[in-house]
């Protein structure tokens, strides 16, 4: 009698049913699975960001401005104290590298040069600086406070992204979210001692409020964003334009919010801090970094500006995050222009549909406008836009798959 090594049909069926049973058990405990996944990821994420910070010279400027809030020290004493704090908190090799360039070395030795530099657009991040000052006042090490706040803002951003996911979409999107977060550069943003993580958080929060239909709350918050980071005025303008043109908010309330935004911008740049010109920002960021910026003229010609734009476009061409972002934006616009999201009885789109189209368009418009004013595709400026678009497109794709494959069961899900 010959031995038959081929498994019978019942064995095959049993092997197929095992993963199916496992999936069904996961789906039966959806909320618990989501909680475990997000808790593990956020814990590892926070530990990594605090363990491996990125050291940049901006750390000196923000620590100094935060100390200024609670200490009326002369610039000589502030200068000495800041460098002592950073040297005590930063590894020796990293500290040496922070002083590596000739101009940075001068700043470490010349208190007057240091005073001019920390007031050169660093002092305009009013809310960020005061939050750091508050953390320092309760006994947190100044250097650690900068990284702790960036990490906390990024963790909150991840939680908001998770909350943007509707509860009836496939469970698999929650497993994809950690990869979206890492691919869109949130990890590096969390490791910086800059207000970029804070700006990312408030950006995601504004879109979160939009999807929760908290329009009046948004109108109140928009003028305040000026004090987070001044380039957010581009985002504010896009929201005001959307509300005014498409009627998502009362026109009088929208106009009042716009006037308040202009007033906040003027108040910040001409009364609270001394405004630095656009040419100074461009010249300092992309050209020579003088040790005494108040005494330096930053000439920007049409030719030099065009060269900066071309260089920025070249850097964008080999930036994988930027290219993937553009691809996802196009995919999202195509998906949300499909009949899948149109009411077949009235051929009209829902308010949620229009809001998501606004998200996709405004994110790419913000990137374009920001690039024209500051020709650099640095991920830390656009991490919020990258992650928002990625979540929306992946959520849409999963939703379409669930609808087409499980349309007979309203409670169905995909792993």
List, for residues 247-258, the tens digit of each pLDDT value: 888 899 999 999
pLDDT at 414 over 50: no
What mean pLDDT comes out for the span 310-324? 80
Q: How far apart are CA 325 and CA 383, in angstroms?
A: 10
pLDDT at 410 over 50: no
Question: Would residue 260 count as lying in a domain?
Answer: yes
How many domains does the chain fold into?
1
List, for residues 260-293, the tens digit of each pLDDT value: 999 999 999 888 988 788 888 888 888 777 888 8
Say which range, 42-51, 237-246, 332-341, 377-386, has the weakest mean pLDDT: 332-341
HEC profile for 112-162? HHHHHHHCCCHHHCHHHHHHHHHHHHCCCCHHHHHHHHHHHHHHHHHHHHH
Question: What's the pLDDT at 101?
Answer: 83
Say which range, 233-247, 274-288, 343-357, has the weakest mean pLDDT: 343-357
List, for residues 190-216, the tens digit of each pLDDT value: 999 999 999 999 999 999 999 999 999
pLDDT at 314 over 80: yes
Average pLDDT, the chain: 84
Q: Of 196, 93, 111, whose CA–CA distance to 154 is shortest?
A: 196
Question: Would residue 83 count as lying in a domain?
Answer: yes
What burial class does residue 46 get, using C-beta atoms within 10 Å of its C-beta: 0-12 exposed, 13-18 middle, 19+ buried?
middle
**Rounded to whole angstroms, what are the CA distances from 162 to 41, 97, 203, 208, 387?**
12, 38, 15, 10, 11
- How many Cβ atoms are within 10 Å of 313's Cβ, its own excluded? 12
Question: What's the pLDDT at 121?
Answer: 83
pLDDT at 170 over 70: no
Looking up tokens 């408030």, which residue turns up? 202
b/e sequence 120-154, b meaning 16+ C-beta within 10 Å = bbbbbbbbbbebbbebbeeeeebbebbbbbbbbbb
Question: What's the pLDDT at 149?
Answer: 97
- Between 171 and 39, the more confident residue is 39
Say which range, 33-47, 119-133, 360-374, has the weakest mean pLDDT: 33-47
- Between 399 and 322, the more confident residue is 322
Question: What's the pLDDT at 415?
Answer: 35
Q: Give 205's contacts (C-beta < 8 A, 6+ positions apart).
A: 160
Q: How far apart are CA 28 and CA 123, in angstroms?
A: 52
Looking up tokens 């007057």, which residue turns up? 112
- 94 alpha-carbon distance from chain centroid: 26
Q: How far apart are CA 233 and CA 251, in angstroms?
A: 19
**Rounded to whole angstroms, what are the CA distances from 69 to 37, 60, 139, 151?**
40, 15, 15, 22
Question: Would residue 413 count as lying in a domain?
Answer: no
Question: What's the pLDDT at 53?
Answer: 94
Say which range, 27-31, 200-204, 239-243, 349-353, has the weakest mean pLDDT: 27-31
b/e sequence 236-260, b meaning 16+ C-beta within 10 Å = bbbbbebbbeeebbeeeebeebbeb
Say which range, 115-129, 228-242, 281-295, has the weakest mean pLDDT: 281-295
Q: Give 263's contacts (C-beta < 8 A, 6+ positions apart).
A: 223
Local structure of 238: helix, strand or coil: helix
Question: Would residue 98 count as lying in a domain?
Answer: yes
Question: Would residue 87 count as lying in a domain?
Answer: yes
Q: Which domain holds residue 48?
A: 31-405
Question: What's the pLDDT at 409?
Answer: 44
Q: How far apart are CA 398 and CA 391, in angstroms?
A: 11
- Torsion sign over Cα 357, 361, 362, 367: positive
- Between 68 and 19, the more confident residue is 68
What mean pLDDT comes out for the span 316-336? 78
**Phi, psi of 296, rounded to the nearest 5 degrees:** -115, 140
Give the pLDDT band of residue 413 (cuts 50, 70, 90): very low
Percent of the chain with pLDDT over 70: 84
């Amino acid at each position: 009698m010959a031995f038959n090594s081929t498994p019978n049909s019942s064995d095959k069926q049993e092997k197929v049913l095992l993963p199916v049973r496992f999936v069904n058990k996961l789906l039966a405990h959806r909320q618990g699975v989501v909680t475990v996944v997000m808790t593990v990821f956020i814990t590892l994420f926070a530990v990594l960001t605090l363990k491996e910070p990125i050291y940049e010279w901006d750390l000196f400027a923000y620590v100094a401005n935060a100390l200024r809030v609670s200490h009326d020290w002369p610039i000589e004493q502030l200068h000495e104290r800041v460098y002592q704090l950073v040297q005590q908190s930063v590894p020796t090799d990293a500290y040496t590298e922070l002083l590596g360039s000739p101009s940075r070395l001068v700043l470490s030795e010349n208190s007057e040069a240091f005073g001019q530099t920390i007031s050169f657009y660093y002092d305009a991040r009013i809310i960020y600086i005061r939050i750091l000052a508050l953390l320092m006042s309760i006994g947190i090490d100044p250097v650690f406070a900068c990284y702790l706040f960036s990490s906390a803002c990024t963790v909150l951003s991840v939680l908001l992204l998770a909350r943007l996911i509707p509860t009836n979409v496939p469970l698999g999107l929650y497993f994809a979210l950690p990869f979206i977060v890492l691919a869109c550069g949130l990890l590096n943003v969390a490791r910086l001692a800059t207000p970029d993580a804070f700006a990312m958080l408030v950006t995601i929060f504004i879109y979160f409020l939009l999807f929760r239909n908290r329009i009046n709350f948004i109108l109140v918050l928009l003028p305040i964003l000026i004090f987070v980071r001044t380039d957010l005025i581009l985002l504010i303008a896009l929201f005001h334009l959307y509300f005014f043109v498409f009627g998502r908010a009362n026109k009088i309330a929208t106009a009042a919010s716009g006037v308040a935004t202009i007033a906040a911008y003027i108040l910040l740049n001409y009364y609270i801090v001394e405004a630095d010109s656009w040419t100074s920002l461009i010249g300092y960021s992309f050209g020579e970094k003088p040790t005494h910026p108040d005494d330096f003229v930053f000439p920007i010609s049409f030719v030099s500006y065009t060269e900066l734009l071309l260089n920025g476009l070249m850097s964008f061409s080999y930036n994988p995050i930027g290219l993937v972002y553009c691809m996802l934006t196009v995919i999202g616009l195509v998906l949300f222009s499909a009949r899948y999201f149109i009411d077949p009885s009235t051929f009209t789109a829902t308010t949620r549909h229009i809001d998501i189209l606004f998200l996709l368009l405004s994110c790419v418009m913000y990137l374009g406008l920001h690039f024209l004013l500051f020709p650099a595709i640095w991920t830390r400026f656009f991490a919020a836009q990258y992650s928002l678009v990625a979540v929306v497109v992946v959520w849409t794709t999963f939703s379409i798959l669930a609808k087409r494959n499980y349309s007979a069961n309203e409670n169905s899900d995909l792993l």
